[in-house]
C-alpha cells in the first residue's frame, strides 16, 4: 500500500473542516494544526524550559527576591520605565545581587489612568532605550519591549507605531548583545488569526504583528496567557506556539501567565502546557492585581497554588 504525502493528508483533513470565527468551534482545526508541528525547525524549539515569577504587591524588594527562592525559581521579571530611568534600577539590582536571572521589560512610560501612545520620536526613544541597555544588557537574560501592545487599557495608537518602535529596539539590542522579545500577544487572539479570515479589533492587530515579526530579528515571540476555573484547554499552549514558530521562524517564550482561580489543578495544567509547547521561559504572575489574578502567596507564605507551582516546575 502506497503512503500518501503528508501535505496531501493535511489538505484532505482541511477540506472536511469548516472554518468558524468563534474559538469554541475549533477543536478539529487544532488537531489539523498539530499534525503540521513536525515542520517546525528544531532550532527554534528549546530543549528545556526555565520557569520564573513576577512578584507584585507591596512586599519589599528583598522579600520579593526571597519569595522567588521560596517558589523555587531563579528567573524573575521586573520592569524599567525608560522615561524615569536615571542610571540604575533598584529592583534589577536587588534581584541580580540575590543571584536571580532577570527577564527585563523596558517600557517607554508608565501606564496610569489612560492608555499611552507609542512614541513617535525614534531618536529620543533610542537614546532612552540605549541608556538602560548600556547599564544592563550584559547582565540580564532577555529584554522585552513594552507590555502587551494590543491591550487597549495599556496602549493606544496604530500597531504600525509599535512595529516601528520594535524595529529600533531590536537594532539597539543587537548593538548591545542582548536577546530581545516583543511585549506579548494572547492565545485567544492567535487562535482567531489561525482560523478566521475576517478579523477586527485586537485579533486584527495580532495578525498584523505576526506578519511583521517574520521580518524582525527577534529572539522570541512572547505569548501571554491567563487561566480560569480548574483546568486549561488541553493542547492550546502548544498549538499557538507551533503556529507562531511556523509563521515567524522565531522561538517562543512567556513572561507572564496569570491564574484567575485558586485551583491547584489549573496551575499544573498550565505548567504542563508550557512544557509541552516548547517555550523557552514561562513566568507566573503573583501579586495584587485589578485584573482578578490570584496570587501564589500571602506575604511570605505560599498559598496552596504557590506550593503546586513549586512542585510542578521541579
Q: Please give the domain boundaries of the chain with CATH numbers for all domains.
A: 6-312 (3.20.20.80)
Does pLDDT of 211 surpass 60? Answer: yes
Does pLDDT of 5 surpass 60? Answer: no
Classify strands 101-107 and 75-81 as parallel, antiparallel or unpaired. Answer: parallel
Q: Give 41's pLDDT tier (boundaries 50, 70, 90).
A: low
Nearest-angstrom CA–CA distance, 231 and 233 = 7
Instruction: List the single range of 65-69, 110-114, 168-172, 180-184 with lowest mean pLDDT.
Output: 110-114
Does pLDDT of 31 surpass 70? Answer: no
**How much of the chain exceeds pLDDT 90, in percent?**
80
What was the pLDDT predicted at 292?
87
Does pLDDT of 245 surpass 90? Answer: yes
Does pLDDT of 2 surpass 80? Answer: no
Does pLDDT of 69 surpass 80? Answer: yes
Average pLDDT over residues 212-237: 98
Residues with Cβ within 8 Å of residue 14, at least 6 apart in sequence: 32
pLDDT tens for residues 97-144?
A: 999 999 999 999 998 668 999 999 999 999 999 999 999 999 999 999
Q: What is the grid cell recorded at 303? A: 498559598
Average pLDDT over residues 20-26: 34
Amino acid at each position: 500500500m502506497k503512503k500518501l504525502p503528508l501535505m496531501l493528508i493535511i489538505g484532505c483533513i482541511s477540506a472536511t473542516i469548516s472554518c468558524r470565527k468563534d474559538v469554541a468551534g475549533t477543536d478539529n482545526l487544532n488537531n489539523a494544526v498539530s499534525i503540521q508541528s513536525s515542520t517546525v525547525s528544531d532550532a527554534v524549539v528549546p530543549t528545556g524550559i526555565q520557569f520564573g515569577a513576577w512578584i507584585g504587591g507591596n512586599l519589599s524588594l528583598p522579600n520579593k527576591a526571597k519569595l522567588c527562592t521560596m517558589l523555587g525559581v531563579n528567573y524573575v521579571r521586573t520592569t524599567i520605565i525608560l522615561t524615569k530611568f536615571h542610571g540604575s534600577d533598584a529592583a534589577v539590582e536587588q534581584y541580580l545581587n540575590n543571584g536571580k536571572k532577570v527577564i527585563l521589560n523596558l517600557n517607554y512610560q508608565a501606564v496610569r489612568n489612560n492608555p499611552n501612545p507609542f512614541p513617535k520620536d525614534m531618536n529620543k526613544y533610542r537614546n532612552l532605550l540605549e541608556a538602560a541597555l548600556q547599564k544592563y544588557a550584559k547582565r540580564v537574560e532577555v529584554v522585552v519591549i513594552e507590555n502587551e501592545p494590543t491591550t487597549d487599557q495599556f496602549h493606544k495608537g496604530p500597531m504600525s507605531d509599535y512595529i516601528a518602535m520594535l524595529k529600533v529596539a531590536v537594532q539597539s539590542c543587537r548593538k548591545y548583545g542582548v536577546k530581545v522579545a516583543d511585549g506579548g500577544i494572547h492565545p485567544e487572539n492567535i487562535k482567531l488569526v489561525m482560523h478566521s479570515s475576517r478579523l477586527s479589533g485586537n485579533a486584527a492587530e495580532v495578525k498584523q504583528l505576526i506578519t511583521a515579526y517574520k521580518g524582525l530579528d527577534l529572539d522570541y515571540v512572547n505569548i501571554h496567557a491567563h487561566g480560569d476555573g480548574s483546568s486549561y484547554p488541553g493542547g492550546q499552549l502548544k498549538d499557538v506556539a507551533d503556529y507562531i514558530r511556523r509563521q515567524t521562524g522565531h522561538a517562543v517564550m512567556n513572561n507572564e501567565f496569570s491564574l484567575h482561580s485558586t485551583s491547584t489543578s489549573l496551575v499544573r495544567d498550565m505548567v504542563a502546557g508550557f512544557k509541552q509547547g516548547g517555550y523557552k521561559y514561562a513566568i507566573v504572575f503573583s501579586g495584587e492585581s485589578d485584573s482578578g489574578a490570584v496570587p501564589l502567596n500571602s506575604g511570605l507564605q505560599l498559598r496552596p497554588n504557590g506550593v503546586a507551582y513549586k512542585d510542578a516546575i521541579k
